[in-house]
Homo-oligomer: A and B are copies of this chain.
Amino acid sequence: MTAVIEATQDAGRGAAVIARLKAELGADIIKDAAEADFARHGRDMTNVMPEGIDLPGIAYPRTTQQVSRIMAICNEERYPVVPQGGLTSLAAGALADRPCLLLSLERMRGIEELDEAGRTMTVLAGTVLETVQVAADEAGFLFPLDLGGRGTAQVGGNASTNAGGNRVLRYGMMRDLILGCEAVLADGTIVSSLNVMIKNNAGYDLKHLFIGSEGTLGVITRLVLRLFPKPTTACTAVVAVEDYDATLQLLKQCNAAFASTLSAFEVMWPDFYQLGTTAVGRQPPLPHGYPVYVLVEILGTDPERDGERFEQVLGGMVESGLVKDAVIAQSDKQRSEIWAVRDSPGEWHQGSHWPQVAFDVSLPTRKIGDFIPYVRDLLLAKWPDCVTMFFGHLADSNLHLSARVPRDPMPEKEMEEIVYAAVGEWGGSITAEHGIGSVKRDFLHFSRTPEEIALMRTLKKAMDPNNILNPGKVI
């Protein structure tokens, strides 16, 4: 990626700020430029910090009070702060793009309380997602957020980016999994809204300011997370249908039959299915040649019935002719093999569809079938050798598009212009789950109106008048 370096701060000022922070918070908490490992804090999952940025240091607070002091000092000094979690972002939302203090939350980790009756867990923001998942599991619950970066991503980052992932259809986004939130404002004020109750209408629900705003309105320091009953059964199938209308019909019938146990409805178009199976030497679970493949999964709690019911419902769809072919996993091994097809983008870097430009967009579900040939044709009109792959969490309106033009370098920015403009025209969102960060900021206007962006700026100005909190990200 590329980013414009806005060198609003001179190097001497940064050093002076670090010296002041170090004097007050101590050498354990504040590392200056000579001590800091900037390389470790300079990349996320797909982006690298632009070269030549003069960083004065990194803060590693252990407590909310220390975060508060750091913010208060930086606010007095008018010095930018970039909060960092586990750096698993795909949008460069936590990378420096100008001289700034990096504020790492990695030492603020730990589970403070697990309340079985209320099904809540109170955690520090720097706790790794997988740690939360394991603790929930050991207590007999499910914490449903799950994504590839689970071993590194921190829940504070998951919250500030409103992470999505594999189980949104059933359990919602990270926003839906949070009951309470403690955050530090730009001026150091600690706003502690550690609500543990499902119902609470006492005044404005402030946590939504911090969730999904990518660290631009506050630094999340603690969260109260919701826990769920652990499913005890999983039934997984791949089915083939004739066209997009049949896909929508399939979704409707799955919703009606399985209701909230439906936990995955992953649509794969033929190019994608080919690349995820035969192209990498994997036996396709269903033969090639069908227009649309769908991975369907339910997670239930009735071992006596769930498998039988799953087969009954899908069997009925085969009989009615809606489903042209189907395979139901008969073992955990078969279940993994089916998921491996859907998860095959993780293998693309070894094959011919690399490098590629990945898009994480959402569109009204009913339009996705028509949008695919529309955007494919737009890309082909410009680059006749462009190769596209489509797959998506369809029930969540989330379409993943991967496009590759065999040039070096790829015309990434032009490809993005074409795809994001099309998404905007069709009433979609330029980012379903990855967030805006710095890499999509210039495209935000395709998905949001001038009035919406003006209101975002009003909030930003009211809550961070000196523009020190992750400046230049999102808006």
Show the binding face of A for B, using Cβ within 8 Å.
115-119, 140, 161-162, 164, 168-170, 172-173, 175-176, 185, 189-193, 195-206, 208-209, 211-213, 217, 228-231, 248, 251-252, 255-261, 300-302, 305, 309, 362-366, 393, 395-398, 427-436, 440, 444, 447-449, 451-456, 458-459, 461-463, 474-475
Q: Specify the chain B residue showing the minimal Cβ separation from A435.
A: B201
- Contact residue among B170, B199, B257 (Cβ-Cβ distance under 8 Å from A398): B199
With a CB–CB cut-off of 8 A, which chain B residues contact A164? 199, 201
Known contacts A185-B455, A192-B449, A205-B211; can you find 15 more A-B pairs with CB under 8 A? A162-B201, A168-B199, A172-B176, A189-B455, A197-B365, A197-B397, A198-B396, A198-B398, A199-B393, A200-B447, A201-B431, A201-B432, A203-B475, A258-B301, A462-B462
- A453 and B203 form a contact (CB under 8 A): yes
Decide yes or no: A447 and B196 within 8 Å by CB, A176-B176, A365-B118 being known contacts: no
With a CB–CB cut-off of 8 A, which chain B residues contact A452? 191-193, 203, 206
Instruction: Return A389 CB to nearest CB of chain B, in Å.
Output: 19
- B201 and A434 form a contact (CB under 8 A): yes
With a CB–CB cut-off of 8 A, which chain B residues contact A458? 462-463
CA–CA, A116 and B397, complex, Å: 13
With a CB–CB cut-off of 8 A, which chain B residues contact A366? 115-118
- B257 and A301 form a contact (CB under 8 A): yes
- A205 and B162 form a contact (CB under 8 A): yes
CA–CA, A449 and B201, complex, Å: 15
- A197 and B432 form a contact (CB under 8 A): yes
Could you give 6 example pairs across A and B, Cβ below 8 Å?
A: A192-B449, A196-B364, A197-B429, A198-B398, A202-B440, A260-B261
- A202 and B117 form a contact (CB under 8 A): no
- B202 and A444 form a contact (CB under 8 A): yes
Copies, count? 2
Decide yes or no: A259 and B117 within 8 Å by CB, A203-B456, A432-B201 being known contacts: no
With a CB–CB cut-off of 8 A, which chain B residues contact A251? 117
CA–CA, A231 and B434, complex, Å: 33
Interface centre among A115, A140, A259, A451 (most CB of B within 10 A): A259
With a CB–CB cut-off of 8 A, which chain B residues contact A433? 199, 201
Q: Specify the chain B residue showing the minimal Cβ separation from A449.
A: B192
- B429 and A201 form a contact (CB under 8 A): yes
Instruction: Return A187 CB to nearest CB of chain B, in Å.
Output: 10
Q: Specify the chain B residue showing the minimal Cβ separation from A362.
A: B197
Interface centre among A140, A198, A302 (most CB of B within 10 A): A198
With a CB–CB cut-off of 8 A, which chain B residues contact A228? 259
- B115 and A364 form a contact (CB under 8 A): yes
CA–CA, A199 and B171, complex, Å: 12
Instruction: Return A226 CB to nearest CB of chain B, in Å.
Output: 11
Q: Specify the chain B residue showing the minimal Cβ separation from A190.
A: B451
CA–CA, A303 and B217, complex, Å: 49
Q: Specify the chain B residue showing the minimal Cβ separation from A429.
A: B200
Instruction: Return A10 CB to nearest CB of chain B, in Å.
Output: 31
- Contact residue among B362, B449, B461 (Cβ-Cβ distance under 8 Å from A200): B362
- B161 and A198 form a contact (CB under 8 A): no
Instruction: Return A227 CB to nearest CB of chain B, in Å.
Output: 10
CA–CA, A454 and B432, complex, Å: 32
Closest 4 CB pairs of A and B: A462-B462, A208-B208, A117-B366, A197-B397
- B305 and A436 form a contact (CB under 8 A): no
CA–CA, A78 and B162, complex, Å: 38
Decide yes or no: A116 and B252 within 8 Å by CB, A204-B213, A259-B231, A396-B199 being known contacts: yes
With a CB–CB cut-off of 8 A, which chain B residues contact A190? 451
- B200 and A451 form a contact (CB under 8 A): no
Instruction: Return A243 CB to nearest CB of chain B, in Å.
Output: 14
- Contact residue among B201, B440, B459 (Cβ-Cβ distance under 8 Å from A204): B459
- B305 and A302 form a contact (CB under 8 A): yes
Instruction: Return A309 CB to nearest CB of chain B, in Å.
Output: 6
- Contact residue among B260, B309, B459 (Cβ-Cβ distance under 8 Å from A462): B459
- A397 and B256 form a contact (CB under 8 A): no
With a CB–CB cut-off of 8 A, which chain B residues contact A211? 205
CA–CA, A260 and B364, complex, Å: 26
Q: Specify the chain B residue showing the minimal Cβ separation from A444.
A: B203
CA–CA, A193 and B202, complex, Å: 25
